[in-house]
């Protein structure tokens, strides 16, 4: 048993997708099952409101959906603590104190925030909510409240983790050694760290609508794959194709295992052989997409089935969240007491 603590979470802005699965969820499950970590799984409802303030119903509904997705992939409530962010007022309190340690210019330079503002330009226009701009501060509160040492994330979140590290350093330098320094952990497979969207966008994102969800039906998966972006210069079967920036191939490189080739496309032993043929020319997109569909159906079927079973009893899922939130709050309250002491705010003992 190491002393490592994991804090990780998702925004309840939609169901979780295959980018989450390979970019973050699989790692969470592996780490949980290794028995070497204590894990906290946060449903970041307060953070979801920073760009959905006008849509509380959406956030509320997706709390259950995101919990179902985590449960379905194997995050076990007996081994990991699930909680809802907004039920822990200490997180808001920490955010307020940490915001004195961060400059406006630093937030405006944060590459994650910058690109998310860009993605949200239709919604925000020139008016970015303060809460959205400052969500990296609240993320620092989430991570440090649980003394997390390890934060499994997709690549898009690394700059936010860096900002947390700066806050921790600044806090400890100013008020004395109090907060634990965390580090971000990425998926091993490079292509899984930022899975592209089915439209070819560099990132599959809930708010971008370019997703295959973990809970999608077999029909929806098949339709999404049929309409997927692929190499636009690969017009005829004989043409040489590009596998780079071609999400069909990126997904295959992440999801297709030798047993999938053996079962559905035995003329190729592995991904490398298939990719070489496509690049040489003579391999059509329809055939490749048909194979990708088989692979995704095999991968997602057991997750969807577990999800459907769990979804029959939403009360049970909410009870997991309720109990976890009580446990998580105790930990956050301990950190809060240490923070207040360090900041000389412990007036009444």
Q: At what angle do helices 314-342 and 158-175 cross, to 10 degrees?
A: 40
Q: Which residue, 193, 191, 133, is CA-closest to 157?
A: 193
Q: At what angle do helices 56-73 and 314-342 cross, to 10 degrees?
A: 100
Q: Which residue, 82, 77, 88, 69, is CA-closest to 16?
A: 69
Q: Which residue, 28, 22, 62, 78, is CA-closest to 204?
A: 22
Can you tell me which of 28, 38, 194, 329 binds ligand ATP, judged by CB under 6 A?
194
Query: Between the CA of residue 109 and those of 32, 117, 133, what are the distances in Å?
Result: 34, 12, 10
Contact call for residue 11 and ligand ATP (CB under 6 A): yes
111's tokens = 């590459």
Quick one: how far is CA 345 from the chain centroid? 35
20-39 residues in contact with ligand ATP (CB under 6 A) are 20, 23-24
- The whole-angstrom separation of Cα 187 and Cα 24 is 7
Can you tell me which of 136, 154, 215, 324 binds ligand ATP, judged by CB under 6 A?
154
> Residue 10: beta bridge partners?
43
Can you tell me which of 38, 206, 289, 304 binds ligand ATP, judged by CB under 6 A?
206
Can you tell me which of 58, 79, 170, 203 binds ligand ATP, judged by CB under 6 A?
203
Contact call for residue 41 and ligand ATP (CB under 6 A): no
CB of 345 to ligand ATP, least distance (A): 32
Q: Which listed range, 79-87, 148-156, 215-223, 231-239, lies at the site for ligand ATP (CB under 6 A)?
A: 148-156
CB of 13 to ligand ATP, least distance (A): 4
Q: Which listed range, 7-15, 90-98, 224-232, 252-260, lies at the site for ligand ATP (CB under 6 A)?
A: 7-15
Can you tell me which of 59, 63, 153, 248 binds ligand ATP, judged by CB under 6 A?
153
CB of 24 to ligand ATP, least distance (A): 4
Footprint on this chain of ligand ATP (rule: CB under 6 A): 10-11, 13, 19-20, 23-24, 153-154, 156-157, 193-195, 203-207
């Amino acid at each position: 048993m190491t002393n490592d603590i994991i804090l990780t979470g998702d925004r309840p802005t939609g169901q979780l997708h295959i980018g989450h699965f390979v970019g973050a969820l699989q790692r969470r499950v592996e780490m949980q099952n290794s028995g070497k970590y204590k894990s906290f799984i946060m449903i970041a409802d307060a953070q979801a409101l920073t760009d959905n303030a006008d849509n509380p119903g959406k956030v509320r509904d997706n709390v259950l959906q995101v919990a179902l997705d985590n449960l379905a992939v194997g995050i076990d409530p007996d081994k990991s603590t699930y909680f809802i962010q907004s039920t822990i007022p200490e997180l808001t309190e920490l955010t307020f104190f940490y915001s004195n340690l961060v400059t406006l210019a630093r937030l405006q330079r944060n590459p994650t925030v910058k690109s998310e503002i860009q993605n949200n330009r239709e919604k925000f226009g020139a008016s970015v909510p303060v809460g959205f701009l400052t969500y990296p501060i609240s993320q620092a509160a989430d991570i440090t409240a649980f003394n997390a040492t390890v934060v499994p994330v997709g690549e898009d979140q690394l700059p936010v983790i860096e900002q947390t590290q700066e806050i921790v350093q600044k806090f400890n330098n100013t008020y004395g050694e109090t907060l634990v320094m965390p580090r971000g952990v990425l998926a091993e497979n490079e292509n899984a760290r930022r899975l592209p969207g089915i439209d070819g966008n560099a990132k599959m994102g809930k708010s971008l609508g370019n997703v295959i969800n973990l809970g999608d039906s077999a029909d929806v998966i098949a339709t999404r794959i049929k309409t997927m972006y692929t190499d636009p210069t690969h017009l005829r079967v004989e043409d040489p194709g590009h596998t780079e920036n071609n999400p069909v191939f990126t997904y295959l490189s992440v999801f297709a295992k030798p047993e999938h080739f053996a079962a559905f496309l035995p003329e190729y032993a592995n991904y490398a052989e298939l990719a070489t043929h496509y690049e040489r020319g003579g391999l059509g997109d329809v055939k490749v997409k048909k194979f990708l569909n088989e692979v995704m159906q095999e991968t997602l079927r057991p997750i969807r089935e577990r999800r459907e079973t769990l979804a029959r009893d939403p009360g049970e899922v909410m009870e997991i969240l309720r109990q976890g939130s009580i446990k998580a709050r105790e930990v956050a309250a301990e950190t809060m007491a240490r923070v207040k002491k360090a900041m000389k705010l412990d007036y009444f003992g």
